[in-house]
């Protein structure tokens, strides 16, 4: 990823952001990374919990020292507004009326308390684009049900589908609806801006994180509604492919190492057998077909595990790939930074943060042929851009800003 300033894909767009955590802020990062101005409305009274989450005992602390917040919010600007004060609400309202879009992920009804909900704003601004995202959506009997991504994974069915058939459900790691829904939100916002560009009309988008998750799991829903079958946990197995698993390799630096191997068709199996040196356990003719391999999968994977156990994971994966087999070493969170392909894609860049110092921040998985994303600025300190935004977007004179600050409005 390039870190030099340059014209971006979305230069000139401005998005106002309310809320916190991951589900909203990750969505607007897509815009910020491509040149749009993303302004977070924040408050010292109720800071984003990621600003105060302390990850390690020696975390520097303070509202500007949260690593998690910093990584998720690079390239954004921050305006501090104490929305407990009517003057602050009035400023938020004026900002809402001059930006291109608003993204919020509060609980349903929170924006309405300030008169910042779509229905209130659209009366003055017919082309307003706004997205509201929360766990269950803005309507329905469970709209106020509180939850984080952990609850989203459970409600949408991901937990039930992750784990071993003989054990309890779990993961997937990282609260999956928190990472799916920002992608849905970015798509919907971009679609709304396209529509507005062509028609001059705005829209209000209601994105339920649980519904987005279920949309992804449509196959499981169809399998139930069509056949009455409830899909369950299969470990790493596949209904269509065998072997299909993760196998232990030789430890390195005192750490467990594993390799993932997936054989999707008969040709790939023949290649794997070749790479194995055609041992007796791999050559019975019934294993030449997927049906035969699936029937014998227990023995097959046990034998394969024995073969991988003494070998080093990455060289083994490279050797299998060279032989045309789908295989990959299992990388831990640190290894990902050193992966040559991830490095080639420029997935991680570095920003210089005033509290944390130089730190890596990631971007997304899209590369455009004509423009690159850019990490330009670190995550904002709370209120860092208050004066600039009020001056540039609303044209407030300095003395007015000063008196608002003295009145405790800008904190």
369 Cα distance to chain centroid? 23
Q: Which two tokens stand for residue 45?
A: 């009274």
191-210 binders of another protein (CB under 8 A): 191-195, 197, 199, 201-208, 210
Quickly count: other Cβ atoms within 10 Å of residue 320's Cβ: 21
Dist. CA 379–CA 66, nearest whole Å: 10
Cis peptide before 172 (omega within 30 of 0): yes
Least distance from another protein to the Cβ atom of residue 399, Å:
36
Task: Kindly write out the interface string for residues 19-58 of this chain, putting x where it contacts another protein by CB under 8 A and - elsewhere.
Answer: ---x---x---x---x--------------x---xxxxx-
Dist. CA 329–CA 401, nearest whole Å: 55
Provide the b/e sequence for 143-170 (b: ≥16 CB within 10 Å): beeebbbebbbbbbbbbbbbbeeeeebe
Cα–Cα separations (whole angstroms), residue 261 to 114, 202, 235, 251, 308? 54, 48, 14, 18, 10
Tell me if 336 contacts another protein by CB under 8 A: yes
Q: Fill in the DSSP letter of residue 289.
A: S
Nearer to another protein, 91 or 100 (CB): 100
72-101 binders of another protein (CB under 8 A): 72
Tell me if 65 contacts another protein by CB under 8 A: no
Residues 33, 48, 100, 178: which is the catalytic one? Answer: 178
In this chain, which stretch among 86-94, 272-280, 364-372, 396-404 interacts with another protein, using CB under 8 A? 364-372
Nearer to another protein, 252 or 400 (CB): 252
Tell me if 118 contacts another protein by CB under 8 A: yes
Contact 321, 315 (CB under 8 A): no
Tell me if 109 contacts another protein by CB under 8 A: no
Nearer to another protein, 298 or 400 (CB): 298
Dist. CA 304–CA 325, nearest whole Å: 14
Tell me whether residue 178 is one of the annotated catalytic residues. Answer: yes
Strands 258-262 and 77-80, sheet pairing: unpaired
Tell me if 116 contacts another protein by CB under 8 A: no
Q: Which of 69, 92, 70 is nearest to 80 (CA)?
A: 92
Q: Which of 3, 27, 15, 102 is nearest to 364 (CA)?
A: 27
In this chain, which stretch among 85-93, 358-366, 383-391, 402-410 interacts with another protein, using CB under 8 A? 358-366
Tell me if 144 contacts another protein by CB under 8 A: yes
Of 99, 136, 390, 411, the one binding another protein by CB under 8 A: 136
Least distance from another protein to the Cβ atom of residue 292, Å:
17
Dist. CA 30–CA 26, nearest whole Å: 7
Of 84, 98, 124, 221, the one binding another protein by CB under 8 A: 221
Of 90, 97, 110, 234, the one binding another protein by CB under 8 A: 234
Q: Which of 11, 185, 226, 3 is nearest to 102 (CA)?
A: 185
Tell me if 137 contacts another protein by CB under 8 A: yes
151-180 binders of another protein (CB under 8 A): 151-164, 167-176, 178-180
Tell me if 370 contacts another protein by CB under 8 A: yes
Q: What angle do CA 14, 2, 390 make, to 5 degrees?
A: 25
Tell me if 17 contacts another protein by CB under 8 A: no
Task: Kindly write out the interface string for residues 261-290 of this chain, putting x where it contacts another protein by CB under 8 A and - elsewhere.
Answer: xx-x---x----------------------
- Catalytic residues, by residue number, are 178
């Amino acid at each position: 990823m390039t870190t030099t300033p340059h014209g971006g894909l979305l230069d000139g767009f401005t998005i106002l952001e309310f809320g916190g955590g991951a589900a909203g802020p990750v969505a607007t990062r897509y815009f910020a990374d491509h040149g749009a101005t993303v302004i977070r409305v924040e408050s010292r009274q109720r800071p984003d919990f990621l600003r105060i989450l302390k990850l390690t005992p020696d975390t520097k602390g303070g509202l500007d020292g949260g690593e998690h917040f910093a990584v998720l919010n690079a390239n954004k600007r921050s305006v501090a507004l104490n929305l407990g004060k009517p003057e602050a609400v009035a400023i938020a309202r004026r900002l809402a009326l001059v930006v291109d879009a608003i993204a919020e992920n509060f609980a349903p009804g929170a924006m309405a308390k300030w008169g910042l909900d779509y229905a209130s704003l659209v009366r003055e601004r017919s082309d307003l684009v706004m997205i509201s995202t929360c766990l269950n959506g803005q309507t329905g009997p469970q709209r106020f049900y509180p939850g984080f991504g952990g609850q989203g994974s459970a409600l949408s069915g991901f937990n039930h589908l992750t784990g071993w058939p003989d054990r309890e459900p779990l993961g997937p790691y990282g609260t999956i609806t928190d990472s799916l829904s920002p992608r849905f939100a970015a798509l919907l916002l971009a679609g709304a801006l396209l529509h507005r560009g062509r028609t001059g009309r705005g829209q209000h988008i209601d994105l339920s994180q649980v519904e987005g998750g279920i949309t992804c799991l449509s196959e499981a829903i169809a399998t139930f509604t069509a056949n009455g079958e409830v899909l369950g946990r299969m470990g790493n197995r596949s209904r269509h492919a065998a072997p299909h698993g993760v196998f232990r390799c030789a430890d390195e630096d005192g750490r467990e190492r594993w390799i993932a191997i997936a054989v999707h068709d008969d040709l790939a199996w023949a290649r794997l057998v070749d790479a194995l040196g055609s041992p007796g356990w791999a050559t019975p003719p019934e294993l030449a077909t997927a049906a035969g391999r699936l029937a014998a999968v227990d023995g097959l994977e046990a034998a394969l595990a024995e073969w991988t156990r003494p070998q080093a994971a990455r060289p083994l994966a490279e050797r299998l790939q060279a032989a045309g087999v789908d295989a990959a070493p299992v990388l831990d969170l640190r290894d990902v930074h050193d992966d040559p392909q991830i490095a080639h894609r420029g997935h991680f860049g570095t920003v210089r943060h005033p509290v944390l110092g130089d730190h890596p921040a990631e971007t997304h998985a899209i590369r455009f042929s004509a423009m690159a994303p850019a990490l330009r600025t670190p995550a904002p300190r709370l209120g860092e851009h208050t004066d600039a935004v009020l001056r540039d977007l609303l044209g407030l004179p300095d003395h007015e800003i000063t008196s608002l600050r003295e009145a405790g409005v800008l904190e």
